[in-house]
Every structure is written in C-alpha cells, then in structure tokens.
Chain A
Amino acid sequence: MLYKFAVSMLCLLLLTGCWSRRELNELLIVLGMGIDWEDGHYLVSYQVVNPSEISNQQKRGDRPPSTLFQGRGRTLFEAARSVTTEAPRKVYLGHLQIYVIGEEAARRGINELIDVSARDNETRMDFNIIIAKGTKAENVLKLYTPVEKLPSYSMQQSLQTSEKNWAPTIAVTLDEALTNLSSQGSELALTGIRVIGSPEIGETKQNVEKFLPPSRFRYSGIAAFKGDKLIGWLNERESRGYTDITNNLDSTTIAIPCGEQRYLGVEVTSSNSKIKTKVVNGKPEVEVAIRTEANIVERSCTDVDLSKPETIKELEAKTKQSVQTNVEDAVSRAKEMKSDIFGFGTQMEKDHPAFWNQVKDKWRDEYFPKIKVNYKIQIFIRDTGTTMNSTIK
C-alpha cells in the first residue's frame, strides 16, 4: 500500500511539465528586428505580431497588426532584455523573418550583430538581413504595409520575389552572411531598403487607407562591406552587374535603346554565370562567363523587324553590350572600394590554393583592385512573345 502510494506520489513529480516551457500566450512573436547605433548604445527594435489583429475570427481593426518594442543597451542582449520593461511578455525569436541593420550601425561594424544571432539558441539561420539605407532601422519597421498585414512578412516576400524577378536585390540569410564574413576571399554584400514618402504618415493607419500608400518601403541598391563595415553602395545598374556575376540573377528585364527615347523590352528568362580564375605570370586573372537566355517582350520601335534573323543577332549584341556595361561598372566600383564582394578570392582559393596562400593577406588591398577581369558573355534571344511583327502602324 505504502509502496503504491509512494509510486503515485513520485509520478506527480513528472506532471509538472517542461522546465523551459513557454506557452504561446506568453510569447511575443518577433517577425522583424532592427538594430541601430545611437549615442554609444544599441537601440534594438522588435516588431512583434499582435495576434488578435491578424486572426480571422475576431477582427477588431482598432490596433495595428504589429507593434514595435524598443530597448537600449551597451550590448545587444542588454538591449533585448531591457525590452521587458515595456513589453508584457518575453520576446521569442524563432520566427524572425527579417533583420534590418541601420546604416550607421552597419558602418560601425556588424560582426557582433551576426555573432549574437548565430550564438542565440532561439534564432534560426534562415532570416534575411538587409540594411536600412540612409535611415534608421526602426523607421523601416514601423510602416503600415498594404496587402500583407504583417510588414516584416511583406518585406521578406518582396525581397524574395524581387530577387527572383528583378535583378538588383539579393536575399542573404544569416548563415551566408556568416560564411562571407569568415572568409578572406570574399566580402559581404547586403541589399538596402529605403523608406520613401513621408514616414509620419507611414506610421499611421491612414497609410493603408489610400490607394497609393503615401509611405512605402523600396529595396534599392546593394551595400558593399569591407571586413564587417559597410563602405559603400552600388547603384542599381551596378547591383544588377553584381547579381549577374555572382549567379544570383534569375530573371530580370533589360531595356535596349532603339530610337528617340524609345526602348525595346527584353526579358531575361534565365542566366547562369561562372567565375574562373587563373594565374598568368604571377598575376591573378578572372574570367566571368555569363550565359543568358532572353525573350523580346516589348517592341516599341516599328523599324525593328522581328521577322528577320539578323535583327535578333543585332539585338543580342545590344543586350550583350548592356549586360557587359553593368558588370564592368560593378567590378570597377568594387575595385574602387577595395571590397571583393564577388568572391573572386574565394574562387582563387578553390582553383589555385598554393597561389592563394601566398597572396591572401594582400588580396584585399593589393591584388583585388588590380585584378584583370575578362568577360565572356553569351546572350541568346529565343522568343518574341506570342506575336511576330505587330500590325499596329
């Protein structure tokens, strides 16, 4: 009897549940996180979901779909924990989708930001990192966004869609950033985000009550890093060149001038690139081979006769010209900044490890800015849409 009693009492000990359990109603689910550097302190902004606002059953609509909580501290963790003085619950980072770094913080160096995220046990490595261009990260995170209620989700989706369909953006995840920051032969590059329009209205609900929201976010340009510090921006054409060289370009559009302020639209349907390195007379050389397939999607000039094979040849040459300028500009801009964002050094390490061992310490400042790059660009125009020459006069 006593034995049975003891056993049943001991069983009760097992019913206390998990030690580290955290119920859903005790969590603040963070979707977006912003880091700023302000007067010697980190300012961490968490954009958290307001669960009652996004549920389908009980729509209230009097509150924003997410809320921003902010904390300050000398370390990021201190800043993160100080959030509890404002927030009712503890933040949970397992569903983080977008990580915005303010430009000032990025210029100061992002090693510690990456380190703390990689060290944390809650964060996964699959969120995207972006840089708030010319603004603070918090401004990016307090926007009402149309269509998608959750701004962070909207941003992540937009980033991933534009990476696929519009060239000058890249969706970099934490693990890729960590790999780039660890390697000597390649530098980190992250997409920039800007807030356009008036940020004051963007914070209010009126922003989504209009057809054209007065304040919106827009991805623009790629930030180049040297070491862990942001040192410059690539403009749109350079960014396009960057994604083309690094094989991040999937589909995009190219405009070919064909007359007075008239452009012919070309849709790139697939693009592959390969970087090859060689050592000629003790000097490194790089060959960038790009193979692109494209379609004609807009014929704005009537004098372009799409029924002739020669026209296609000519258009291919023009497209090639356009692609070549982009990549050349990107490379020369990167050389100017002495930032090997293309990973030529990493490729050199793979192809010529012995040579790499000799030059790796001087790669960034001496070899990369002087490297000779050859381009081998092939363009194939395959289709002209569903029509040949349209009969419109």
Chain B
Amino acid sequence: MSIYKNSKISVRQFCILIMIGTVGDSILVMPTITAVSSKQDAWLSMLLAFIGGLITGGLFAAIANKLQRVSLYEAIRQRLGVWFGGFFFLLFLFASFMCCLTLLSEMIQFMTTQLMPETPVTAIIIFFAAVIIIAYRYGIESYARMGELLFPVFMGLFVMLVVFLLPQVDWPNVQPIMAKGFFSIISGAYPAYCTGFVEMAVLLMLVPYVTGKGKLTKPILTGFTVGGMVLFLVVLLSVLVLGPSLMETKYYPTFVLAQKIMIGHFFERIEAVMAFLWVITVFYKTLLHFFTITTGLAQVFQLKESKMLTIPLGMILLVGTVVGTPNIVVYNVILIEYYPWFDITFFLALPIVFLILLLAIKKKQQKTQQPPQQQPQQPQQN
C-alpha cells in the first residue's frame, strides 16, 4: 500500500474535490460539444446531462457507501481474488490513464491555440505534469487542503464571469426551443454527460481516505450538483451571450465569453485572469485521474510506496499525449464521437459491475487489513 495509508481528508474536502473535478475540463469544451448537435438547445442538453449526472452520482454514492472506507481494489480483490479482481481493476486504471491523456491534451491545446501559440507543447506538458507530480508527492491531504483554499477563488471568478456577462444576455438567442427535435438534444447531452459526470468515477478512489464512517451520499451529490450547476450556467450563458453559431465554431466558447466582458470601457480584457478558472479545474481533474492510476498501480502490484511511479508515468503521459492526439481535429473527433462510449464502458458499466459484485458476493470472512500476500487467492464462490 501507499505510504498515505493513514492520510485523511475531511468530508468537506472530499466534496470540494468532487465539485472541482466535475467542472474539470468540461467548463472549456462543454459549450462546443453540446452546441454541435443541439445548437440553441444546448442548455437543454446540458440540463439533461445534469439530471443524468445526478443519477450517476447516486450510483457512485451507493458504491462508495458499500465500500465502507475500504479501497476499491481491496473490495474487488476480496470478492474476485487477485487475478480476476486485478484484471477488472486494471481496466479501470487504463480508463483513468486515457482520461489523463485527454485532459493534458485539452490543456495544451487551449494554451497553444489561445494564449501561447509559439510555445512547444512539450514545454507546456512538462510544466503541467510537473505540478501534478509534485502535488501527488505531497499527498492527498495537502492537495485536498489546497482545493479547499482554491475553491473560493474558483467560485469568485465564476461568479464574476456570470455577473459581468449579465448585461450582454440576449434572450431571443434561445429561440426556437426544441425545434430540431428531441433526438438532437439527446445526442448533445450524451457526450456532455460522459465528459462531465461519468468520468468522475475516480472519486471512488478517494473514498478510503475520507474520515469518519458516515454515508457519503450527501457530499457526492452536493459535489455533482454544484459542479453541474456551474456547467449548466456556462452553457446557458454561452447560448445567451454568444449564440449557437459562435458556440459551434469556436473551440473555447468559455474563453470568448470571458473576452466579452466589458463594463463601461474600463473593466475589460480580463480573459487571461478568467483562464485561471479552468486552469484550476483541469488541474484537479487531471490530478484525480493521475492519483487513481498511481495509487491503483501501487495497490495492484503491492508496492511499498507509489512515489517512484510518478515520474515514469509522467513521461509516458508526456509522450502519449503528443502521440495520441497529433492535432486538434483528431482530438475533437475522438472526444465527440468515440470517447463517450469509452467513458460509458469503463467509468459507468465497470462501476456497475463493481456494485453488483459488492451487493451480490459477500465478503469472505477474514481478518481485515491483512497484508495481501497472506490471503487466499482463489475466486470466491457464491
């Protein structure tokens, strides 16, 4: 097990991590991926995705409660044994790894297209990944506390964005409502639901560190609700301020939104400050996924400590990001057409399998928290 076995985060910190993670990279891409198919009904798509997200949140909460502060791998292993359990769990880690790649891609593409076009992508990835590795090495307690500190900053910036854009709201932009039929709304909601909410399955990895023995339904649902509300407001504002055609054509409508802020010819051009908003959230989401891979690998391979995995993993991510998404067009096709299915398979179907396992197979009675080596390895029979 990792050396952070005794680390503890409070329920509040857990909740904040979920909130920030839910907002994640979605705040940047959500307006585009919803508007591509549902145009001016993007906000309805988002609302639908939000409702779906809350149901998924309930599902994750059910798993989290069943885990009873035991790590996910431990729980699976106790029911399926090392080989089967390890296999399923590695699938989960693989998905997290892919997610990390897309998040890094998202970040560097934003940086190179909008802010620093001449900077080589590797330089940006190295710095971004370095911060993630450092955060990981400081441990979950530190970055959870940091999240608690950054959360007000995030919320402050977000409220600023919303309030300062109110004068530019143009209500007729939402019309006509549902003219293109229900199908286009669903096909817009689907990728939004996957990127925004399903990917947060990694919160299950945080469960063992949460203090107390209480149920986690409330913090998880609160996190999803606040995160979902933020995303919903961003999409709604994009529709109202920018209109569907700009949302669809621009890669980062949220950035354009920030550019739109103009209060009395003196409070303007603050988009670079606003960019901090999603730098925080993308960072935390990437960190959570990175945490999942690293801690997960350490658990599966029963390593004494996981720190030594961080730098090699960072290097693999660096290369993987550049190779996996050679250009922004490929990335967008993957993100909108294929990635949602990937997400559904690994972050929704797989957790459902876990939940069924947790419910169906009784944990074999044994002295809990024993070193894994001494445990019997045969699959359990029901």
Could you list which residues of chain A lie within 8 angstroms of chain B, going by C-beta atoms?
18-20, 118, 121, 124-126, 175, 178-179, 182-183, 349-351, 353-354, 356-357
B243 at interface by CB-CB < 8 Å: yes
Question: Are B119's CB and A20's CB within 8 A?
Answer: yes
A19 engages B116 (CB within 8 Å)? yes
Contact of A19 among B113, B123, B245, B269 (CB under 8 A): B123
In the complex, chain A residues whose CB is within 8 Å of the CB of B172: 350
Name the B residues within 8 Å of A353 (CB-CB): 176, 179
Q: Are B262 and A126 in contact (CB under 8 A)?
A: yes
Question: B118 in the interface, Cβ–Cβ < 8 Å?
Answer: yes
B120 contact set on A, CB distance < 8 A: 19
Cβ B245 vs Cβ A178 within 8 A: yes
- Whether B246 contacts A179 by the Cβ 8 Å rule is yes
Query: Given the complex, which residues of B lie within 8 Å of A354, measured CB to CB?
Result: 179
Cβ–Cβ < 8 Å partners of B304 in chain A: none
In the complex, what residue of chain A is closest to B262 when comparing beta carbons?
A126
- Which residue of chain A is the closest to B113 with respect to CB atoms? A121
Determine whether B156 belongs to the interface, using a CB cutoff of 8 Å to chain A.
Answer: no
Report A175 CB to chain B, min CB distance, Å. Answer: 6
Cα A178 to Cα B119 with chains together (Å): 29
Question: Which residues from A are CB-within-8-Å of B262?
Answer: 126
The docked-state distance in angstroms from the alpha carbon of A144 to that of B259 is 31
- Out of A20, A118, A124, name the residue touching B118 (CB < 8 Å): A20
A-B contact list, 30 entries, CB within 8 Å: A18-B119, A19-B116, A19-B120, A19-B123, A20-B116, A20-B117, A20-B118, A20-B119, A118-B249, A118-B250, A124-B269, A125-B256, A125-B259, A126-B260, A175-B242, A175-B243, A175-B246, A175-B256, A178-B245, A179-B243, A182-B245, A183-B245, A349-B176, A349-B179, A350-B172, A350-B175, A350-B176, A351-B175, A353-B176, A357-B179
- Cα–Cα distance between A28 and B243 once the two chains are bound (Å): 33
Across the interface, which residues of B come within 8 angstroms of A349, CB to CB? 175-176, 179
Render B111-151 as a binary contact track against A, CB cut-off 8 A, 1 for contact. 00111111110010000000000000000000000000000
* A178-B118 contact in complex given A19-B123, A124-B259, C-beta closer than 8 Å: no
Q: Tell me the minimal C-beta distance from B172 to chain A in angstroms.
A: 6
Q: Chain A contacts of B117 at CB under 8 A?
A: 20, 121
Name the residue on B nearest A14 (C-beta): B127
Residues on B with C-beta less than 8 A from A183 are: 245
- For B114, the chain A residues whose CB sits under 8 A away are 121
Residues on B with beta carbons closer than 8 Å to the beta carbon of A125: 256, 259-260
Alpha-carbon separation in the docked complex, A356 to B176 (Å):
11
Chain A residues with CB under 8 A of B113: 121
Contacts of B256 in A (CB 8 A): 125, 175
| Assembled-state Cα–Cα distance A351/B115 (Å) | 40
By beta carbon, the residue of chain B nearest A95 is B269
| 4 nearest A-B residue pairs (beta carbon) | A353-B179, A350-B175, A182-B245, A19-B119
A294 and B213 alpha carbons, distance in the complex (Å): 72
Instruction: Compute how far the CA of A175 lies from the CA of B119 in the bound complex, rounded to whole angstroms.
Output: 27
B118 / chain A contacts, CB cutoff of 8 Å: 19-20
Residues of A within 8 A of B246 (CB): 175, 178-179
For the complex, what is the distance from the CA of A263 to the CA of B113, rounded to whole Å?
57
Interfacial chain A residues near B179, Cβ < 8 Å: 349, 353-354, 356-357
